[in-house]
């Protein structure tokens, strides 16, 4: 037999795609985890259909999972896939625009029937030509019939057999990219420990897929992607929602407080709730409320009672929580609100990513109702910003909103697990001197009031939505309301002394400063690096602190000829900067397609700005 062709790559992006029932999310996750354990740096992008169960075989029902892995730092899941694994014609049609020129398409030849071509709305019997995929390496693999052959002696019905198709595809791709099967085998044995037949059949198909690659070396090239050079430590592959939950757990331990989460399930934030619900062993109390309003109200009650109080949601749920969030502003109780943003308005694109809740977060409440706003930028640093959100809330007695998004919440990357002594201390502002206690007496430097937990003699006081005076009595005095409104606003602004300075990636001055915030970090960083490698005078200022802004923001902006603000909305952060940091021309790069930026579209925009 002809020797296998071996291609060495520094990085590669693979996209697994098929019907929402084909197991593509599990396939992509297992391949990603195996790659991370192999030592590659990775970044993933699960791409779910918006409908719970779209018609089978249609483009609307296609579920995808893209992972980029390599021997160097990986900051995005990749603009385009080098390899597409397509389980049906609809997957080819949905993903043709996401293919790298000259890439490889592995497809289930058994599924390319006239019936399935019709379901995917192809007009001809050549889907590859119709999708302009002529100059691509196409590897037809009879995945369905080979899976049936693998399991013919197990007495399973056809539906049960076809559930294992994804394992055949996974085994084949693991052979192509030299991924060991140990981790995947262990996962299947643990996941289906109570269903030994499921374990046995999936392992059989997995190995048959792997062996198929070995036996068909003349048509399936093998790739080598060496491990990355990374800092020594204990690593795990983690997504943003789990990282957020773990950051809150770490904060509760550092603060010496119980953690309470009151939430209502909503895509794509539900995993924060489920991750914390699993940690009763750490004293976590979770409450799945009957609606979004009850979720935040129970959290406010927990904050009054002395817990680290959290509520999690996405855009539509955040809108429902707005009145109660205003209550926490008025009561000046520590509260963390996690908003995993998604496409809107209304139900919008529930499984797609967007950054369009910024203005709602900053201003979407009645009255003057300021809160601290942070934004995480990668799946793993959701841990650190969740921790910091809790630290600020507890030490400054203020509600803090942490903005993540669907791309971060569902995406994953390797994360070095820190030891607890690496994390900063958290000192809640618990009232200690009952003799001098007044509920709204403030710290002279940061304007934070003290936290008087119920049940302690001498600390009785009123809380609620009505304005209070210094002693906690209800007050309708105009001067008192004016003064307290100013205090609450200034208290948020003085959180700036807890924040680091805004850093610039690249030279501190130049022709173009790219400004981004939140989950766009990986793509803007990659685009700026590409521009700089091409000799362009371009730098990046990425914001994780939205309200208040870092103290040196204006100084950083003043050293560049042009500023481009990149965000997945119609220009909300750019508008906010025009208000808070006036005197500059803010060019906008916006996208609202439910998808992250691509590095290519960013560099094209930046080059155009430099030429104008």
At 107, list the tokens: 């497809």
Give residue-wise pLDDT tens across range 509-521: 999 999 999 999 9
Based on the domain organization, do 261 and 378 belong to the same domain? Answer: yes
Looking at residue 252, which CATH number applies to its domain? 3.40.50.970
- Among 501, 545, 516, 510, which residue's Cα sits nearest to residue 531? 510
User: Residue 3 pLDDT more than 70?
Assistant: no
Beta pairing partners, 402 = 338, 374
User: Residue 181 pLDDT more than 70?
Assistant: yes
CB-based burial label for 554 (10 Å; 0-12, 13-18, 19+): middle
Query: Average pLDDT for residues 291-304, to the nearest whole number?
Result: 98
SS3 of 143-154 = HHHHHHHHCCCC
Looking at residue 38, which CATH number applies to its domain? 3.40.920.10
Based on the domain organization, do 453 and 532 belong to the same domain? Answer: no
Query: Average pLDDT for residues 174-198, to the nearest whole number?
Result: 94
pLDDT at 230: 76
What sign does the dihedral 379-383-384-389 (CA atoms) show?
positive
Based on the domain organization, do 316 and 413 belong to the same domain? Answer: yes
Q: Which residues contact 530 (CB under 8 A, 6 or more apart)?
A: 599, 603
User: Residue 215 pLDDT more than 90?
Assistant: no
Q: Does residue 282 lie within any of the structural domains?
A: yes
Percentage with pLDDT > 90 across the chain: 89
* Pairwise CA distance, residues 209 & 263, whole Å: 42
For 436, phi then psi, to 5°, come to -105, 10
- Examine the fold and report which residue of 390, 422, 454 is the final residue of a domain before the chain moves on: 422
Based on the domain organization, do 121 and 208 belong to the same domain? Answer: yes
Q: Is the CB of residue 278 less than 8 Å from the CB of residue 272?
A: no
DSSP code per residue over 332-396: T--EEEEEEE-B-STT-BTTS---TTHHHHHH-SSSS---EEEE--STTTHHHHHHHHHHHHHHH
Based on the domain organization, do 279 and 413 belong to the same domain? Answer: yes
User: Residue 223 pLDDT more than 80?
Assistant: no
Give me the number of domains the chain comprises.
Answer: 4
Based on the domain organization, do 207 and 254 belong to the same domain? Answer: no
Give residue-wise pLDDT tens across range 312-343: 999 999 999 999 999 999 999 999 999 999 99
Tokens 């693991």 belong to 174
Name the band, by pLDDT with cuts 50, 70 and 90, for residue 7: confident
Based on the domain organization, do 209 and 253 belong to the same domain? Answer: no
User: In this structure, what is the dihedral angle of CA atoms 596, 599, 600, 605, given to the nearest 10 degrees?
Assistant: 90
* Pairwise CA distance, residues 409 & 411, whole Å: 6
**Other C-beta atoms lying within 10 Å of the C-beta of residue 482:** 10
Based on the domain organization, do 344 and 485 belong to the same domain? Answer: no
Query: Average pLDDT for residues 542-558, to the nearest whole number?
Result: 98
pLDDT at 485: 97
257: left (phi over 0), alpha (psi -120 to 50) or beta: beta
Give residue-wise pLDDT tens across range 345-391: 999 999 999 999 999 999 999 999 999 999 999 999 999 999 999 99
Q: Does residue 230 lie within any of the structural domains?
A: no
By 3-state DSSP, what share of the chain in percent is helix, strand and coil, each rounded to 5?
Answer: 40, 20, 35
Based on the domain organization, do 492 and 554 belong to the same domain? Answer: no
User: Residue 5 pLDDT more than 90?
Assistant: no
Give residue-wise pLDDT tens across range 429-476: 999 999 999 999 999 999 999 999 999 999 999 899 999 999 999 999
User: Residue 68 pLDDT more than 50?
Assistant: yes
Q: Is the CB of residue 78 less than 8 Å from the CB of residue 47?
A: no
At 379, list the tokens: 């799946």
Name the band, by pLDDT with cuts 50, 70 and 90, for residue 571: very high
CA 359 to chain CA mean position, Å? 19
- Tell me how long the chain is: 612
Give CA separation, 2 vs 65, 173, 214, 442, in Å. 33, 20, 12, 79
C-alpha angle with apex 228: 226 to 230, nearest 5 degrees?
155
For 537, phi then psi, to 5°, come to -85, 80
* Pairwise CA distance, residues 451 & 463, whole Å: 11
C-alpha angle with apex 494: 490 to 495, nearest 5 degrees?
125
pLDDT at 2: 43
* Pairwise CA distance, residues 84 & 96, whole Å: 9
Q: Does residue 505 lie within any of the structural domains?
A: no
Based on the domain organization, do 157 and 211 belong to the same domain? Answer: yes
Per-residue burial over 190-209, b if 16 or more Cβ lie within 10 Å, else e, is: eebeeeeebbebbbbbbbbb
Q: Which residues contact 599 (CB under 8 A, 6 or more apart)?
A: 76, 79, 523, 526, 527, 530
pLDDT at 221: 67
Relative to beta strand 510-517, strand 560-567 is parallel
User: Residue 225 pLDDT more than 90?
Assistant: no
Based on the domain organization, do 418 and 367 belong to the same domain? Answer: yes
Domain with 414 in it:
236-422
- Among 47, 31, 417, which residue's Cα sits nearest to residue 187? 31
Please state, rounded to an integer, the average pLDDT across all residues of the chain: 94
């Amino acid at each position: 037999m002809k020797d296998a062709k071996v291609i060495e790559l520094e990085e590669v992006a693979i996209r697994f795609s098929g019907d929402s029932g084909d197991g593509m999310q599990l396939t992509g996750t297992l391949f990603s985890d195996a790659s991370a354990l192999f030592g590659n740096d990775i970044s993933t992008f699960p791409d779910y259909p918006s409908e719970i169960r779209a018609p089978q075989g249609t483009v609307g029902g296609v579920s995808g999972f893209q992972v980029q892995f390599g021997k160097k730092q990986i900051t995005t899941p990749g603009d385009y896939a080098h390899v597409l694994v397509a389980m049906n014609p609809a997957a080819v049609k949905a993903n043709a625009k996401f293919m790298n020129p000259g890439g490889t398409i592995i497809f289930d030849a058994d599924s390319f029937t006239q019936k399935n071509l019709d379901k995917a709305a192809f007009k001809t019997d050549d889907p590859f030509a119709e999708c302009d995929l002529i100059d691509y390496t196409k590897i037809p693999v009879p995945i369905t019939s080979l899976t049936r052959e693998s399991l013919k002696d197990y007495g399973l019905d056809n539906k049960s057999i076809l559930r294992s198709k994804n394992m055949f595809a996974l085994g084949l791709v693991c052979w192509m990219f030299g991924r060991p099967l140990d981790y995947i085998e262990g996962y299947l044995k643990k996941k289906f420990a109570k269903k030994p037949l499921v374990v046995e059949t999936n392992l059989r198909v997995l190995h048959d897929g792997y062996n198929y690659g070995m036996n068909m070396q003349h048509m399936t090239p093998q790739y080598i992607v060496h491990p990355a050079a990374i800092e020594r430590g204990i690593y795990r592959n983690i997504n943003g929602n789990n990282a957020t939950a773990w950051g809150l757990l770490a904060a509760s331990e550092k603060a010496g407080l119980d953690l309470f989460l009151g939430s209502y399930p909503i895509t794509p934030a539900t995993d924060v709730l489920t991750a914390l619900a699993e940690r009763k062993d750490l004293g976590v109390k979770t409450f799945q409320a009957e609606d979004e309003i009850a979720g935040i109200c129970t959290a406010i009650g927990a904050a009054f009672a002395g817990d680290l109080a959290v509520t999690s949601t996405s855009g539509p749920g955040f809108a429902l929580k707005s009145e109660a969030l205003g209550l926490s502003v008025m009561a000046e109780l520590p509260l963390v609100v996690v908003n995993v943003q998604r496409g809107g308005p209304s139900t919008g694109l529930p499984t797609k990513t967007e950054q369009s809740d910024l203005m709602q977060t900053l201003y979407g409440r009645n009255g003057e109702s300021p809160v601290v706003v942070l934004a995480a930028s990668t799946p793993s640093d959701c841990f650190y910003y969740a921790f910091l959100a809790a630290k600020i809330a507890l030490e400054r007695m203020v509600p803090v909103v942490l903005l993540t998004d669907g791309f971060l919440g569902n995406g994953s990357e390797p994360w070095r697990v820190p030891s607890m002594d690496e994390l900063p201390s958290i000192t809640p502002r618990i009232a200690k001197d009952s003799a001098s206690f007044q509920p709204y007496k403030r710290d002279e430097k940061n304007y934070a009031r003290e936290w008087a937990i119920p049940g302690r003699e001498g600390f009785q006081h009123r809380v609620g939505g009505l304005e209070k005076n210094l002693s906690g009595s209800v007050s309708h005095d105009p001067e008192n309301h004016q003064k307290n409104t100013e205090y609450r606003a200034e208290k948020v602004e003085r959180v700036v002394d807890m924040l680091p300075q805004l850093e610039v990636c690249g030279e501190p001055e130049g022709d173009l400063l790219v400004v981004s915030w939140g989950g766009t970090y990986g793509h803007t960083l990659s685009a700026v690096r590409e521009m700089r490698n091409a000799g362009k005078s371009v730098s990046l200022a990425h914001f994780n602190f939205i309200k208040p802004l870092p103290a040196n923001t204006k100084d950083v902006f003043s050293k560049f000829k042009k500023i481009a603000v990149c965000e997945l909305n119609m220009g909300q952060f750019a508008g906010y900067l025009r208000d808070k940091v006036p005197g500059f021309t803010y060019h906008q790069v916006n996208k609202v397609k439910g998808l992250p930026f691509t590095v290519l579209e960013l560099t094209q925009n930046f080059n155009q700005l430099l030429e104008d």
